[in-house]
Structure 1
């Protein structure tokens, strides 16, 4: 019934995906639309986006899904967000950004991080006092150059004129909520990702001590809210821009690290999901605050109050496949006199170059003839933090062809997931059946490879590429009262297909994985020399 229709905006790194859902006994996808936008990679390690690109993409995709579904704006009874996290949007009193968004990929604040946390007596390279205080209060620590604290400090030092105009510190989703409602809020998962949030039981507040320790102005931090909480209604101005009805309820939603798990149906304690989109991660629902400093894995605040996701991040996942398509599979130097993409023309068999690429390697041998790829094309976070790490094709011979290289890339992405999974399991037991979601999960070939490499049963849910938006819709449905409990969400998101491991492949994958794990330490100094 139309009264249960929810718009969910998934604000990604490369584009906005807008999904329209109807809530009954399941979450039914009525229409979806995507609009891409650029990210500017700067020579000093910066990664920026124009915040107006997000807003305009929301408008254009909203218009499309309403037209495609043949629904009117009166049928939309709730709006929610799933968004990229650890971006920095600094805005003035009127919610106008004072500069471009600093993406989660931005890594230019090396000096600020060094001065802020890499001095004095150290544990694992981090100032011992600040480390222990951070772990006690928030359960994690700002130990990556890409963390928002250091971006904030970079602007303060390098752009004093812009910094003087700052009234609000937002993440990407919070900026868009402010555009929709004229209210300055931040959901608790986004607040946790700043590493200034007191996540101890019974607290759930900004930490004055951490603000003081890291030189953050407390007045810049907005009001804290829960994911399913109604922030307010769409303002008249925002409603006119988006083509929606004024006063349509806007809910807090969550970051992608929180809501992709919800959209995967991994909502109960012990549920594990694996995400593979542009980036990737492993997350297991837990009630415990747990941290593994050595492996860079920690319990992050989830959408559900009182629950965490024990979370290890992979910096580049599907992005490696994009690189393969653009630079390895395609003939980018015009070696051939004539070339035509396999997807061109009315008789094309394949819907996308990715589909053809995966089909073309289906008969390559597991283990890629001993060729191993490291998927660190933009540095890495877990289980080691190193923005200088890069990709390697290891053990190429005269017999190595492109199909083997492509398979090695996929195996390398999945080896890294296994690495995080095994380290996660040492602290918080992972589930035997794992929900696999994200754009990469659309490939049944890769789903089977993931089962074989990890030794886990792999489940793919319906609309695996839309789980962020699905999680946002589920959160809004909770806020509207359409769903009563978080546990109900799992039943609303059915499994599409299941894959079990092939025991015959265990030995070959175990052998390659053992080498894969050693390649970073063997090349750490070389990465530093070449990429400083």
Structure 2
């Protein structure tokens, strides 16, 4: 979308932000009032070379960012000189070894990658155990980081060790180990920097309020050198300007400022405008999460829900992250044959789902297509349809997918609200999945909570980074001030007539999980033996 080009030609001092996700990069152009002037998107591939492996080529991100920058400037009809600053939100828990020039030595192991699972189990395991974690090791990790690397191997800690242990030639030439945003910041400005929210998710950073630095204790325990890690700077820090090469490839001016940015989680939380303590927001994209800002750290080891650093320097973000949400919809649309002009048609998928009755005639879908994180850290869980009959068609199956993701979120919300002393009501809703009005209503009905969908919910990450850039440039006094300017677009009230229906369906959802979890674990073990 864009506003009239005649108005844009008169606009000066624009902010360009990027949200680098799993399947594409979204770019959005903002003015001084943090209003959206134009936006564009560019896709790139996800590589799945082996079961449990998930990679992306850093060069694919960069080329997409360069293309989308040219596209958005042309769409907005503004000169590149109007862009005074750029900022990135990005997927987290990626691991990229780079040489002294910042050149990647291997594809990025993204957040979905589980190849380092045996290493993760080794470094956090032991006896006795709590939910798979070794009791002797828990206190140190929790005290310093308020968390611990998850057992699935999806966190950077075990991925870094995987490179060291399985690819010694690459490790020998590794100058720095970077996450997605860290790599892009270096590509733009030549500095190796990260932000507290991204550093925290390596579980190598001391996350206590008066610290927020790499932990010598944890690094020593894993025999890692701090020199291989980027410098930690605040989200609103201007880290420099574009290098001549980056300026030429992006088509921007060399004096364009680069702001340190944030993870997609922290950026979307800021873009949701839910900044009050314990005020919940829900993100629905390829994955899903529930989040709420808090003044202090908190963690529940049994559910995998805890606080991480947020974009605000004085508060944390309580997060319940779930692996698959919109990715389930895309998978189902493809599997069920919803195509138009040789492309997946989510509009046709939603239309079919909208024609099916609430509850889908007792058809269930379980969205664990890539395991689960919260409220149960279990990489062996798998999804699928259950109670499918000859009476069910594409319509019921499509709605069952939307309901299944909603039921899974309700499972996490029950745990999340127990950790929030005063959970905010209603819930702010952001992410690309929130563009579906049908899904928004299903979520409101299943959760039995009013949902406030912000304007342009799919651009929440870009908006969050625009607000932080406005603070960095001195256009706003604080992140709090900037976040209060976020506007709600639509409100979805729960249909009380569906309460009993979804309460019963949720009970069966949990019953299915309880009865089949051991079966999934046995079936999906790599060293599977005969089930007993």
Q: C-alpha offsets along residues 342-388 of structure 1, whole Å, 9 cap, x if unaligned?
A: x459xxxxx97212221223232211111111100111111111212
**Inter-partner Cα distance in structure 2 for 1:322 and 1:216:** 39
User: 390, 401, 404: which is aligned to 1:398?
Assistant: 390
**Inter-partner Cα distance in structure 2 for 1:299 and 1:113:** 20
User: 56, 64, 72: which is aligned to 2:71?
Assistant: 64
User: 18, 21, 27: which is aligned to 2:30?
Assistant: 21
What is residue 197 of structure 1 aligned with on the other side? 205
Task: Tell whether 2:96 aligns with 1:89.
Answer: yes
**Inter-partner Cα distance in structure 2 for 1:52 and 1:352:** 26
Q: What is the Cα deviation at residue 42 of structure 1? A: 2.4
Matches within 5 A, 1:196-215: 196-215=204-223
What is residue 2 of structure 1 aligned with on the other side? 11
What is residue 285 of structure 2 aligned with on the other side? 277
Name whichever of 78-87 and 377-386 sits farther off.
Answer: 377-386
User: 376, 388, 405: which is aligned to 2:380?
Assistant: 388
Task: Tell whether 2:28 aligns with 1:11.
Answer: no
Q: C-alpha offsets along residues 186-226 of structure 1, whole Å, 9 cap, x if unaligned?
A: 10000001011111121111100011123322211111100
Q: C-alpha offsets along residues 240-269 of structure 1, whole Å, 9 cap, x if unaligned?
A: 111110021100110011001111112222
Matches within 5 A, 1:109-508: 109-144=116-151, 145-330=153-338, 341=339, 343-344=340-341, 353-428=345-420, 429-508=422-501
Unaligned runs of 5+ in 1: 331-340, 346-350
Alpha carbons 2:262, 2:311 under 8 Å: kept: yes
Q: What is the Cα deviation at residue 44 of structure 1? A: 4.3
**Inter-partner Cα distance in structure 2 for 1:530 and 1:143:** 21
Name whichever of 384-393 and 57-66 sits farther off.
Answer: 384-393
SS in 2 for 1:379: coil
SS in 2 for 1:116: helix
Name whichever of 393-402 and 178-187 sits farther off.
Answer: 393-402
Aligned length: 514
**Inter-partner Cα distance in structure 2 for 1:393 and 1:344:** 28
SS in 2 for 1:143: coil
Runs of 4+ in 1 over 6 A off after TM superposition: none
RMSD: 1.6
**Inter-partner Cα distance in structure 1 for 2:140 and 2:524:** 32
Q: What is the Cα deviation at residue 512 of structure 1? A: 0.3
Q: C-alpha offsets along residues 29-58 of structure 1, whole Å, 9 cap, x if unaligned?
A: 122221111111122421111100111111
Q: What is the Cα deviation at residue 28 of structure 1? A: 1.7
SS in 2 for 1:2: coil
**Inter-partner Cα distance in structure 2 for 1:86 and 1:352:** 28
Q: 1:157 to 1:405 in 2, by over 3 A?
A: same
Alpha carbons 2:368, 2:382 under 8 Å: kept: yes
SS in 1 for 2:354: coil
TM (norm. structure 1) is: 0.94
**Inter-partner Cα distance in structure 1 for 2:14 and 2:276:** 25
**Inter-partner Cα distance in structure 2 for 1:247 and 1:93:** 25
**Inter-partner Cα distance in structure 2 for 1:362 and 1:57:** 34
SS in 1 for 2:136: helix
**Inter-partner Cα distance in structure 2 for 1:376 and 1:123:** 22
